[in-house]
Structure 1
Amino acid sequence: MTEPKWKQDLEYVALIEDLLECEEVKKLNDYTQHHFTTRLDHSISVSYISYCIAKKHNLDARATARAGLLHDLFYYDWRTTKFDEGTHAYVHPRMACENAKKLTELSDLECDIIIKHMWLATVALPKYKESYIVTFVDKYCAVKEVAVPLTGKMRSSVKNAWARLKPAAVQ
């Protein structure tokens, strides 16, 4: 099996490797994010794609990579846990930011990226271009993480159903 592209990008890895070594970040591997992926894999995808976009546009690639990795740093199943303070879309970015501050120093930019990454589901506008990048990449990754596996399952189901419908002589 080929190594993921992000692992081959040594410049990117150098920016986040200290975070990947933290037990609190590793623990994200224990949580399912979008049915078919772990929260850690989702966070790495958001981080790496966002980093590539920020780098291409001469933005703060370091802050984008690190905040992208930490944007979902929370430890509950968002499908079942409810909060009095508001919806999951409102609560988890603030929780993630507080958890991230326990691991590393965060700039105002990194805090904005983490807290505002749920814009469109929440009303607070991102302040920085990097925040918009992570916001939209997060949505892209979420859709891809659900749609790609479902498409494969649907394709397989259709293929099996078609095979059962074909007359025996045609097979």
Structure 2
Amino acid sequence: MSEKNNWMNDSEYLQLVQDLLDQPEVQQLANYTQHHYSNRLEHSISVSYQSYKLAKKWHLDYRATARAGLLHDLFYYDWRETKFSLGTHAYVHPRVALRNAERLTDLSPRERDIIIKHMWGATIGLPKYPESYIVSLVDDYAAMDEVVVPWWHKLRQRLHLNFSN
């Protein structure tokens, strides 16, 4: 089992998010490409689990972090194709995700802030809680990891094939 699937063996993490993972609305995220080489469900679980581990290590609210991390991109459109008159995808999708998350479960103020502010840096709203910063930064890291690592492997493979000919 790869390191990316460690969450499957973490019973404490699963206790916190299993009710959300069981929701068809969350499972539906698997139908959407996120960062070229991953789907939105894989991305959301990765952000959730990595954020949960940091929040737990730092004695923060790891329950809210895990749950909001899983729901931070709960939207059902291809952001490369769908455009909004209300603003950029970075501005709009956290609000769509929050609305969708509120339909699935009760959210604490901390969970709401995590979801709505997870694009901090690309948007100007400052997070209110340390857990919001964690999810925002882990989300950025995950996006880079999901794009750059597969791209780098492809590039290395091409270079290796060119040099070996």
Identity of aligned residues (%): 62
Give the equivalent residue in structure 2 for 1:35.
36
2:85 counterpart of 1:84 = yes
Aligned counterparts of 1:149 and 1:126: Cα–Cα separation in 2: 31
2:135 counterpart of 1:134 = yes
- Larger-gyration structure (1/2): 1
Give the equivalent residue in structure 1 for 2:114.
113
Aligned counterparts of 2:141 and 2:2: Cα–Cα separation in 1: 23
- Normalised TM-score (structure 2): 0.98
Count of equivalent residues = 164
Amino acid paired to 2:35: H
2:21 counterpart of 1:20 = yes
Compute the displacement of 1:2 (Å). 5.2
Aligned counterparts of 1:120 and 1:57: Cα–Cα separation in 2: 22
Structure 2 counterparts to residues 1-171 of structure 1, below 5 A: 1=1, 4-164=5-165
**Structure 1 residues without counterparts, runs of 5 or longer:** 165-171
Give the equivalent residue in structure 2 for 1:167.
none
Runs of 4+ in structure 1 off by over 6 angstroms are none
Compute the displacement of 1:148 (Å). 0.9
